[in-house]
């Protein structure tokens, strides 16, 4: 009987491994369609909170005091307008992504038109810079310091999408074209790992990083390494399915994050803070070595007899992720340097610059594709780095558009004492941004638990959606509660 159960368990593990292997991804156009619409999801809950809930005196904060009932209602609203739509978009509505996109744009268009046609003293559009409140508060917060909402949108949505995908990929309702590609191609989950590294760099300031002692960086890297080591031993102990060609036998994404943090610091020290030059240098050398011999080595059927061979995917791809991290630090610095005052003209310049640079990168990508140099997450090659960078720049530009729409066309009430960046940022996104790594870690733990106790391959669509929704609800509730308590877990 025990032998039969062990055999059945092994067969189930093999089925799950085969379920995520040998996949070729989807088209670049579809990736852009399902990612470029995401920042707009931040606008709708903010509209309801400022235009509807505020009139009912339902807010997350009243002064510095958190109100449980109001916070719960806001949480429920944001789950229904952000989290659930994303789950549906990447599962049962995947084939209708264009219709979903058009519906979201249509709703936002109607809100903006209504705002323009209805004079309101608390709407920036009707007062512009002449209103003292916008002069002293909005300008100061959004331009000269503090959190930038569009960066929060980018980071939080990256964490949200990643959390949905790491569990969703095990379900039949998750399109196979969105799962990680085996060798070449693009997919939603391929984008997730790249955007995750980018989101880390976007909140890293080179001068602040360089001012830290090496022992602090070493400690932070060690935390990631400990997580990666723990994950490996849990997978081995619990006989959990593992996709070897993703990172290797012992390597995983946590180890990559640890090494990126450590090597990024050392390279910035050597280059005296020139993050862009460092990132460009790393990816060019990386691509040269791949073209020379490393690509054939990584993709070969060579045995995994020693530690290096066993983890060749993770080790070799590290240079690509390191390059992304360094480039994202430069992007954050460049955007901040031209973000000195609240002016529609300046903000528009930022948006146009981001789109223009991304357009150049897209043209370069298509040229590389024409000479048979294809995107590969497994290698983290030059096309992969360019692809992630181009997509990131466009998402940042769209996020900036959403930020401007919220500030200009939604009623920001003066009697609310919360900072402006809080008013135009959904609380769930703020929560995830504040405890992003904890959110990612908890998502990984729950993904493992669900896979251990539920045979996800046998679930119907409705059951899958229900489990995904509860899983995301719990993940978001944990960081939401920490946010309300002003707790930021340092990992």
Across 43-72, average pLDDT: 72
Please tell me the predicted confidence (pLDDT) of residue 132: 47
Please tell me the predicted confidence (pLDDT) of residue 210: 87
- Left, alpha or beta for 302 (phi > 0: left; psi -120 to 50: alpha)? beta
Token duo for residue 119: 């004079």
Angle 427-434/436-453 helices, nearest 10 degrees? 90
Give the single-character DSSP code of 181. P
Please tell me the predicted confidence (pLDDT) of residue 122: 60
pLDDT tens, position by position, 238-278? 766 677 888 999 999 999 999 999 999 999 999 988 999 99
Please tell me the predicted confidence (pLDDT) of residue 5: 45
- What span, in angstroms and rounded, lies between the C-alpha atoms of 246 and 183? 9
Q: Which residues pair with 26 in a beta bridge?
A: 186
Confidence of residue 56 (pLDDT cuts 50, 70, 90): low
Give the single-character DSSP code of 300. S
pLDDT tens, position by position, 357-405? 999 999 999 999 999 999 999 999 999 999 999 999 999 999 999 998 9
Report whether pLDDT(21) > 90: no
Report whether pLDDT(127) > 90: no
Report whether pLDDT(424) > 50: yes
Report whether pLDDT(306) > 70: yes
Q: Which residues pair with 62 in a beta bridge?
A: 65
Give whole-number Cα distances, 146 to 203, 291, 377, 395, 419, in Å: 12, 44, 34, 21, 10
Confidence of residue 205 (pLDDT cuts 50, 70, 90): confident
Report whether pLDDT(130) > 80: no
Report whether pLDDT(415) > 50: no
Q: Which residues pair with 66 in a beta bridge?
A: 61
Give whole-number Cα distances, 91 to 190, 394, 456, 458, in Å: 17, 24, 14, 16
Confidence of residue 445 (pLDDT cuts 50, 70, 90): very high
Confidence of residue 408 (pLDDT cuts 50, 70, 90): confident
Please tell me the predicted confidence (pLDDT) of residue 55: 67
Angle 68-78/43-51 helices, nearest 10 degrees? 140
Across 326-348, average pLDDT: 79
Please tell me the predicted confidence (pLDDT) of residue 14: 62
pLDDT tens, position by position, 155-174? 999 999 999 999 999 999 99
Q: Where are the alpha helices (DSSP H) in 410-460?
A: 420-423, 427-434, 436-453
Helix (H) or strand (E) holding 159, with range, is helix 149-168
Query: From the CB of residue 428, how many other CB atoms can be counted at a distance below 10 Å?
Result: 25
Report whether pLDDT(17) > 80: no
Report whether pLDDT(121) > 90: no
- What span, in angstroms and rounded, lies between the C-alpha atoms of 7 and 12? 9
Q: What percent of the chain has pLDDT over 90?
A: 61
Cβ proximity of 245 and 17 under 8 Å: no
SS3 label, residue 65: strand
Token duo for residue 352: 């146009």
Please tell me the predicted confidence (pLDDT) of residue 234: 84
């Amino acid at each position: 009987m025990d032998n039969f159960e062990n055999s059945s368990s092994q067969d189930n593990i093999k089925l799950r491994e085969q379920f995520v292997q040998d996949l070729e991804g989807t088209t670049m156009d579809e990736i852009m369609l399902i990612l470029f619409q995401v920042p707009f999801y931040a606008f709708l809950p903010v509209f309801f909170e400022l235009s509807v809930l505020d009139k009912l005196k339902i807010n997350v904060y009243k002064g510095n005091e958190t109100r449980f009932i109001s916070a719960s209602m806001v949480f429920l609203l944001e789950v229904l307008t952000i989290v659930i739509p994303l789950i549906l978009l990447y599962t049962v509505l995947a084939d209708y992504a264009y219709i979903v996109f058009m519906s979201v744009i249509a709703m936002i268009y109607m809100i903006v038109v209504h705002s323009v046609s209805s004079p309101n003293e608390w709407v920036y559009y009707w007062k512009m810079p002449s209103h003292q409140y916008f002069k002293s508060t909005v300008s100061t917060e959004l331009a000269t310091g503090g959190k930038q909402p569009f960066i929060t949108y980018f980071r939080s949505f990256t964490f949200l999408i990643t959390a949905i995908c790491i569990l969703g990929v095990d379900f039949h309702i998750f399109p196979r074209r969105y799962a990680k590609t085996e060798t070449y191609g693009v997919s939603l989950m391929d984008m997730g790992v790249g955007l995750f590294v980018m989101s880390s760099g976007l909140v890293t300031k080179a001068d602040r990083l360089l001012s830290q002692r090496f022992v602090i960086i070493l400690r932070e890297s060690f935390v990631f390494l400990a997580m990666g080591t723990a994950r490996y031993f849990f997978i081995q102990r619990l006989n959990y399915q593992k996709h070897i060609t993703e990172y290797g036998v012992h390597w995983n994404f946590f180890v990559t994050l640890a090494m990126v943090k450590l090597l990024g610091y050392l390279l910035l020290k050597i280059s005296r803070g020139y993050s862009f030059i460092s990132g460009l240098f790393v990816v060019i050398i990386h691509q040269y070595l791949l073209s020379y011999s490393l690509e054939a080595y990584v993709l070969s059927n060579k045995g995994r007899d020693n530690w290096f061979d066993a983890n060749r995917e993770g080790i070799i791809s590290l240079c690509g992720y390191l390059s992304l991290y360094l480039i994202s630090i430069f992007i954050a610095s460049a955007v901040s340097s031209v973000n000195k005052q609240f002016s529609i003209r300046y903000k528009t310049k930022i948006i146009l610059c981001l789109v223009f640079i991304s357009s150049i990168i897209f043209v370069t990508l298509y040229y590389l594709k024409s000479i048979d140099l294809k995107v590969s997450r497994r290698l983290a090659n030059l096309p992969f780095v360019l692809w992630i960078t181009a997509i990131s720049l466009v998402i940042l530009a769209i996020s900036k558009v959403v930020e401007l729409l919220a500030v200009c066309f939604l009623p920001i009430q003066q009697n609310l004492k919360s900072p402006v960046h809080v008013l135009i940022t959904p609380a769930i996104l703020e929560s995830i941004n504040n405890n992003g790594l904890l959110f990612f870690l908890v998502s990984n733990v729950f993904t493992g638990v669900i896979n251990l106790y539920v045979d996800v391959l046998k679930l119907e669509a409705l059951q899958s959606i229900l489990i995904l929704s509860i899983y995301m609800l719990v993940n978001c509730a944990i960081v939401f509660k920490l946010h309300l308590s002003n707790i930021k877990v340092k990992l």
